[in-house]
Amino acid sequence: MLFQTTEFLILLLVSMAGIVVLRRARPQHWMLLIASYVFYGWWDVRFLTLILLSTVIDYAAALGMQGVRLSVGARARLSGMLIGASFLFLGVNWPAMQKQHVVPAFDDMFFPEWPGARAALIACVAFAVVGPGLYGFYFRLSEKGRRRAFLITSVVSNLGMLGFFKYYNFFAANLQGIGGWMGADLTLPVLAVALPVGISFYTFQTMSYTIDAYRGSIDAEPSLVRMALYVSYFPQLVAGPILRPQELLPALKQPWRLNAVNVQSGFHLAMVGMFKKVLIADWCAPMVNQIFADPMDQPTLVIWLGTALFAVQIYCDFSGYTDIARGVSRMFGVEIPLNFNFPYFSTSIIDFWRRWHISLSSWLRDYLYIPLGGSKCSTGRMYFNLMTTMVLGGLWHGAAWNFVIWGAYQGGLLCINRVLRAGIQKLPTVDAALTSKPGTVFRWAVTAYFWMLGWLIFRVTNFEHLVYCMKKFVLFDANFSLSALGLGRGDPFVALLAAGVFAVLHAVGFFGKRWSERLDALPMWALAAVYFVIGMVFFFGWPAANQAFIYFQF
């Protein structure tokens, strides 16, 4: 379900009404959990099984780490729930239900026809049957061994599901290629399995819960309903921010209440996010797609244009999603953390990664970089840790080599940034020059050049096209012809106008208050005028078709 649809508006209004009508916490939790499952199941109801699997596994694992021994009956209920969910969401032949009949044939329940369903169903049922016995076995181990066994089970299960759905075909294709290069004929099956929307986000979210429970920094959540809502909370479920358990679970301990201030402020934040998405990102997208569909023989100016427009598109698309998610949650009375802090005004790559996708960069720092040793080790090992973290962070974005290259590129820039920073600090004159106003502008320009090149690597998936585009981006060919902008093949003026509006509004927000905060401070008469103007802009500027958010594919 997309934010910019009538269906989501109905879901939002029903959820708000439910919070008002259901005054106690537990009924509110059930209502919000159902709303979250409806929101996610709108894409494909079968993939709800994966969320249920992650929820049940991590719920039981955290309790086990804490020494809570679930009764045989409780374990049987969890097992039965997983088996029932597996047959309901995987065993049911969903395409047949939609196209042919309401109730599937008996054979379809146990031998579903859609690709990958049988393997997934068998795996789910096997795990549900074996799980309760495994849970009891872990309590025969020492406390340290038990805690470690539960953590390993959680991590392997979550990464196993992520790897199967997102990376199997990528690695299988590359293994076949390596085998062919070495003269071996490797024939691996190709799985026709769709990528579940947002699987990377909620996988990292559930893993943070069990890792924090293992470290002892949180108490295990005793309520399965609250745990399920933490995993599937619909405003941020599909594209973040990636919530830590401390950022949502405490808010579920008491009933939620709507108040006018939060509703209005959340509406303003969501409206700003919607403006970014549908009036900037979606208007830049056609020109970006046109340029990079076949960039060969395009001059440098066109490559620069496509890269700049994509930089605007991906920022407005992704930060627009998180603004909407944060705004909706604020309307409910729950604040979720900032995920973007004006990254395009960064003056170093280190600064950029402190401002861009903050929930992911902090997650990689806390759960990967620091456990690898972080910076509290030898210099060589520190750079290895940094490169490993960023390469895996790149691979997290997608099963393609351009994402691996992008991660390595970002890791290399961070290493170089650290080396230069350490060297410049030893030169007081140079340090003073670079921290002056002209020096700050210079550092911003250099940083902008390198994150722009990074977005080019991120966007172009074809390796031949990527090599050509990088060459043109770095080596200017001095072609200033207006025809190079593609005026004869597609009108870029709307995209340039959208990018120009973004640049102005973004700068005004950076050097003053954020736009949502400006709206919060306006008197009612001024707000009415602003609502009318923005409403007219939305009415006349809304794209003909709703486009999915870019990060849904990750």
Cβ proximity of 91 and 112 under 8 Å: yes
Cβ proximity of 236 and 336 under 8 Å: yes
**What are the residues whose beta carbons fall under 8 Å from the beta carbon of 241, sequence distance 6 or more?**
322, 325, 326, 336, 337, 338, 339, 358, 359
Tell me, yes or no, if 397 is annotated catalytic.
yes
Give the Å distances, CA to CA, from 83 to 17, 57, 90.
33, 13, 10
For residue 222, cis peptide bond before it (omega within 30 degrees of 0): no
What is the spatial distance between Cα 413 and Cα 387, in angstroms, rounded to a whole number? 10
Cβ proximity of 326 and 262 under 8 Å: no
Question: Nearest CA to 260 among 524, 449, 45, 529?
Answer: 524
Question: Nearest CA to 18 among 32, 33, 8?
Answer: 32
What is the spatial distance between Cα 505 and Cα 8, in angstroms, rounded to a whole number? 27
Cβ proximity of 254 and 213 under 8 Å: no
What is the spatial distance between Cα 140 and Cα 344, in angstroms, rounded to a whole number? 53
Among residues 29, 268, 357, 397, the one annotated as catalytic is 397
What is the spatial distance between Cα 481 and Cα 475, in angstroms, rounded to a whole number? 17
Residues assigned a catalytic role: 397
